[in-house]
Every structure is written in structure tokens, then in C-alpha cells.
Structure 1
Amino acid sequence: MTTRELGPGGPVVTELCVGTSPLGGMPQIYGYDVEAERAIATVLRAFESGIGFLDTSNNYGGGESEKRIGEAIRRAGGLPEGFVVATKADPVPGDGEFTGDRVLASFEESLERLGLDRVPVFYLHDPEHFDFDDLSAPGGAVDAMVELKRRGAVDRIGVAGGDLGAMRRYVDTGAFDILLNHNRYTLLDRSADALIDHALAAGLVYVNAAPFASGMLAKPAADRPRYQYGMPSDEIVERTERLRALCAAHGVSLPAVALQFSTRDPRVSSTVVGVSSPQRVDELVANAAAPIPAELWDELRDLAV
């Protein structure tokens, strides 16, 4: 599997990253639950798959995702050699503030749940829900992220969120090494395109999350998949079916094309895909390797979706 550095001298990661938000058991977001043993088995399968990068967060499932990952690490006898775990700082649920002290506390909570002494990659998570001036003020959340890197507790710090305008503001602080953006660079929504160029020009690397648009491009229409964590509009359903028909005409699956739309872009250092079972890990690896004719990519460029 292709690997890349997260910036010069940074951690080496695979082009695929296992997203573990579903493994925390969040049916309110995904429309289904994942019980603990299935989640642990999924992480263990990821360790065997050739994927070397995993993404989680302090508050996925109220910490349950990290706990389950930690149990999988324990059962495996430790992380596979070279395997990179990334997690994220989150505020206390329901708290109206996201302070520097909270970033540091979130970091320690994550290490305890994961059973690790350190993580190579640490993100400030969804800061768009808080006032930028508060988080970027001296002693605030951004400073705490920088302090963790200064201490050597992490190798790279990043900002992770969905709002394009907010992400640009955090890129422009000059504090971060990585931008992770979700749901905004897919076959259905390419609105992050300019932001990716902006981040790379500023010296950051880009990690693309949710290339399936939270299910819309991965599941058949009969399963009523969600789009960007909500119900899709009629327009999105119609556009997805046009894409599905185009892929079928070339004898390839829509999930494979949706995934490789991200992985084949040289600007994307890694692509984060949420998984919910060992089978989904296997499908992810297979979709990344599926041959796709060049003619299909040409037609996708011309198709007004």
C-alpha cells in the first residue's frame, strides 16, 4: 500500500486511514449501532490488513471508541510496528468553552483509554463550534496544541473539522501541520478544492475524511444511506444514481471510484474512511486496489454531477 510522510520528517502513514467514529457506537449519527466485541474485532482486522493509520477522537461515543481501540491494542500485544494512531482534542460534552487546559486534559484522557504513552498525530477537533478569537488567544486551545508538540508529546498537530471558512482561519494561524477536512472533497461535493490548495501552499499536509459522504457513495439506495450525516435531498439521490450508472457501465463499483477519487489525488496524504466491521476493512482494501479504467475518470471530469 502506498505510504507518505505527513510533512518532511513526519510520521509515515498509509494512503488509507481507518476511521473509528462508528466504532464508538453512535446510532444517532449513523443510523446503526456497533457493539463492543465487533468494534474490537474490526480494529484487530485493521492491524492485519496492511493499513497502517487509524483515526479516532476523545469524544467518539463519549470515549467508547478509544476504549475499544485500547482493548484491541492490548489483545494484539501492542501496536503493529510502524502503525500510526491519531486522536483529537474535544471539549467536555455540553460545555460552552474549549480551553487550553481542556486540550491538555483531553490528551491525557485519550492516552489512558488507548493505553499508549504518546500518539504521533493530534488534532484540534471541530473548533468551528467555538469562537475563533477565544481558541486562538494566548494560553488558549491553539497554544495548548503547540505546547504538546513543543514537549515532544506528539510529532504533528492538526486541525480537523468540516466548515471550510473556519478551517481556512486555523490554517492561517501558522500553528498547524495538518488539515483534516471531512465530507467536502467527494464525487458529490468538491467545495474543499481551493482550501486544499491553500493549505498546501501554507506548508500543511491534507488528510481527506469521509470520501463516501458518510455513506451515500458506499451503500445501495435501498439501504437509505445518509449524506453528510443527514438525509439526502432528492437532488443528491439523483446525482448519486447517475454516478452509479456510469460506474456500472464501466464494470466497476461506485464505492471503489469514490474512494480512489480521493486516494489518487496527489494532494491528499491519506484518506480516512469510517468502518464498522471486519468485513468493511476488507472491502476498503479491495476498493482501494480495484482497477478503474482511465476513460471513467475522463467521463467523470465531463459529467456535471
Structure 2
Amino acid sequence: MIALPTLGMGCAGIGNLYRPVDDRVAGETVAAALAAGIGYFDVAPHYGFGLGETRLGAALAEHDPQARALISTKVGRLLEPTDSDAAERHGFVDAPPLEPVFDYTYDAVLRSIDASRARLRRERIDLLFAHDLGAMVHGNDAARHMADFLAGGYLALRRLRDAGEVAGIGVGVNEIAVCHVLLDRVELDVILLAGRYTLLEQDAAAALIERCRATGTRLVIGGPYNSGILVEGSRTASHFDYAPPPASVVARVAELERACARFDVPLPAAALQFPLREAAVACVIPGLVGAEQVAATLQYAEWPIPDALWDAVGVPSPHEHAA
């Protein structure tokens, strides 16, 4: 299993999540991340319906021709042509005329990684995740998709790993329950958990973290800002879980802001550093768009945070991250 850096970059933003981003800005973002020493990029076919992978692949071809950066992408959705001309679909703006279609079968996984390799311009994908299994996304279809994955897709992931075509396999999800379901049945090298182990949701993943410690499964934490509110703050119209935040969340964020202000710590710095206090967490991957966000993220990652702040915001003593 490869060693991951503690800080990576999520690439949904350069796939036009919420707002359009031009090719130049997308390329500048990846270039700035590489120059800053960020050498791990997480993407998916779903991000802009191929746009995120295409832009990441183009930028890495120019700025990382020796392919030193680590890449993870995902399977579980195939991209099919669509006639829709809607400006926004599934949260992505001005994306190509393709529609993601769920398919977790053996053949679909192999088709998906081949298409991702072409868009990313790389033969080797370092980590490969099954994307968005579980009831949160699939509702009544969750059991059917899980059956397809266990009987087919997971076997394809194992084949790819055993053949050395990927270094590690796992799942990329926004819910905790499905992680337990999978760990009951299969071996996972990595779980990419987005938005469920954050400064706002400190305790929700406690049981999962204990299991990961026991099994040696590493955690990559996506969405450390809960889709934006922990970086944009309580006074700005932002997102929580990809939607407008409820009043209770806004109120809790305001409390966190006041606590951070007492110690002269930016809220995003506390949010970014929180997951890495846990030893089972290998890496945190905020979504980045623009060189300015890359620079700010490095500042947040290095900002000194006193223990008294963690006490003030209710964070218990950690299983310290092995840096």
C-alpha cells in the first residue's frame, strides 16, 4: 500500500461543482498545488462528467510529466451521452453532455477505469474507489447496487490490485453506515469518507475509526469544510452537505467561529487540522480552485493551534497522527 501525504487536493471544484471554472484556472490550480508540494489528487468521472479528470490529466501532463503525483479516481458510474442542455446537473455547471449512470458490475468497473485512464492520460491509477454506495445516494436501490458490487465490482477491484494496476482499493462515500456494511464483508485498503469526520461532526465516525484502527484500513477525509460552511463561515450563503445549511448548523458554526477568534485561529485552519489529529487518518483532501485557495490551504495547514482551542470546541484528546 502506498504512503499518502497528509494533504491532498480534491478535484470536484475543477469539474465545475457549483460554478463554472475555466480551463486556465483549473490548470493553474493543479500547477500551484504541485509547486506547493501537494502530490496527491482525488477525482472521479462524476466530477463534471469527465471534466475533472480531463482537466487534471491535462495539467499533470504539463506540470508532472514524470508522473510522480499520486492519483485516485472512482468507479460506479459510467458516462453516457445525454440530450439535456440544462446549465446545472447534479450540482455541476456547464458540464459536457454526458449523464452518469450507476453500474457497479465487474465489466462496468473495468470499462470505467479504462475511460478514466484515457481522460487522465495515465495507465496507472494509484487508488481506486467504488463511489457512492449506500442508501444516502441510492435509497431503495441500495441493496441491488451493493449486491452488484460484492458479486462483481469488488472482484474487479481485487483483480486490478493483485495485477499491480492499482496500489490500493476502497470506497469513496459520504455516509458511515455503508462503511460498516462493507467492512463486514470485504477487505478495504482505504476508505475515503467525505464530510462525516469534521469539526462539525466530531463523534459520528468514532466507531468506524475504531474498526479502521483494528483492520489497518486507512482513512482519507474529504470535505473537511462540510461542503463550504467551515471555510466560508456562518455569515455567508454557503453549502453544508451540498445544500443550503440548516439554522442549527449555522448556529454551531457561529459558536466555532467565536471560539477560534479567542485564540486568533482561522476557522478553516481548525477545520483542516482537526481530522489529522487521529492516527487512523492518513490524509485530508480539501477541494481547491485557484492558486489563492492553494496558498490559503497551506497557511491553514501550518497555522499553530493551541490545545486550549481544541478544548474550547469540544475536541477530545486525539490518537495523534503519525507524521
Q: What is the TM-score with the length of structure 2 in the denominator?
A: 0.85
For 1:282 and 1:119, the matched residues in 2 are separated by 27
Q: Which residue of 1 aligns with 2:147?
A: 133
Q: C-alpha displacement at 1:221, in angstroms?
A: 3.2
Q: C-alpha displacement at 1:34, in angstroms?
A: 1.6
Q: Are the counterparts in 1 of residues 44 and 73 from structure 2 also a CA contact under 8 Å?
A: yes
Q: C-alpha displacement at 1:79, in angstroms?
A: 4.7
For 1:79 and 1:229, the matched residues in 2 are separated by 35
Q: C-alpha displacement at 1:264, in angstroms?
A: 2.3
Q: Are the counterparts in 1 of residues 44 and 50 from structure 2 also a CA contact under 8 Å?
A: yes
Q: Which amino acid aligns with 2:61?
A: R
For 2:194 and 2:275, the matched residues in 1 are separated by 12
Where do residues 25-174 of structure 1 align in structure 2 (5 Å cutoff)? 25-27=16-18, 32-79=19-66, 81=68, 83-92=69-78, 93-95=99-101, 97-128=103-134, 129=138, 130=142, 131=144, 132-137=146-151, 140-174=152-186
Q: Are the counterparts in 2 of residues 20 and 65 from structure 1 also a CA contact under 8 Å?
A: yes
Q: C-alpha displacement at 1:302, in angstroms?
A: 7.0
For 1:205 and 1:282, the matched residues in 2 are separated by 27
Aligned length: 287
Q: Are the counterparts in 2 of residues 212 and 255 from structure 1 also a CA contact under 8 Å?
A: yes
For 1:180 and 1:59, the matched residues in 2 are separated by 15
Change (3 A) 1:265 1:175: closer
Q: Which amino acid aligns with 1:84?
A: L
Moved over 6 A (4+): none
For 1:276 and 1:119, the matched residues in 2 are separated by 22
Q: Are the counterparts in 1 of residues 76 and 103 from structure 2 also a CA contact under 8 Å?
A: no
For 1:103 and 1:77, the matched residues in 2 are separated by 27
Q: Are the counterparts in 1 of residues 46 and 100 from structure 2 also a CA contact under 8 Å?
A: no
1:174-202 CA distance string (max 9 Å, x none): 33211111111111113112112112312
Q: Runs of 5+ in structure 1 lacking a partner?
A: 1-9
Q: Which residue of 2 aligns with 1:242?
A: 255
Change (3 A) 1:302 1:177: closer
Q: Which residue of 2 aligns with 1:285?
A: 298
Q: Which moved more, 1:285-294 or 1:171-180?
A: 171-180
Q: Which amino acid aligns with 1:219?
A: E
Query: Aligned to 2:109, what secondary structure does the other structure show?
Result: helix
Q: Which residue of 1 aligns with 2:194?
A: 182
Where do residues 263-302 of structure 1 align in structure 2 (5 Å cutoff)? 263-301=276-314
Q: Are the counterparts in 2 of residues 275 and 281 from structure 1 also a CA contact under 8 Å?
A: yes
Where do residues 198-213 of structure 1 align in structure 2 (5 Å cutoff)? 198-213=211-226
Q: Which residue of 1 aligns with 2:11?
A: 20
For 1:40 and 1:228, the matched residues in 2 are separated by 26
Q: Runs of 5+ in structure 2 lacking a partner?
A: 79-98, 317-323
Q: Which moved more, 1:199-208 or 1:144-153?
A: 199-208
Q: C-alpha displacement at 1:97, in angstroms?
A: 3.5
For 2:292 and 2:252, the matched residues in 1 are separated by 27
Q: Which amino acid aligns with 2:53?
A: E
For 1:40 and 1:302, the matched residues in 2 are separated by 37
Q: C-alpha displacement at 1:63, in angstroms?
A: 0.5
Q: Are the counterparts in 1 of residues 234 and 251 from structure 2 also a CA contact under 8 Å?
A: no
For 2:45 and 2:103, the matched residues in 1 are separated by 16
Query: Aligned to 1:133, what secondary structure does the other structure show?
Result: helix
Q: What is the TM-score with the length of structure 1 in the denominator?
A: 0.89
Q: Which amino acid aligns with 2:132?
A: D
Q: Which amino acid aligns with 1:11?
A: I
Query: Aligned to 1:14, what secondary structure does the other structure show?
Result: coil
Q: C-alpha displacement at 1:98, in angstroms?
A: 2.4
Q: C-alpha displacement at 1:94, in angstroms?
A: 5.0
1:129-167 CA distance string (max 9 Å, x none): 342222212xx1111111111111101111110121112
For 2:176 and 2:315, the matched residues in 1 are separated by 25
Q: C-alpha displacement at 1:208, in angstroms?
A: 1.1
For 1:166 and 1:273, the matched residues in 2 are separated by 22
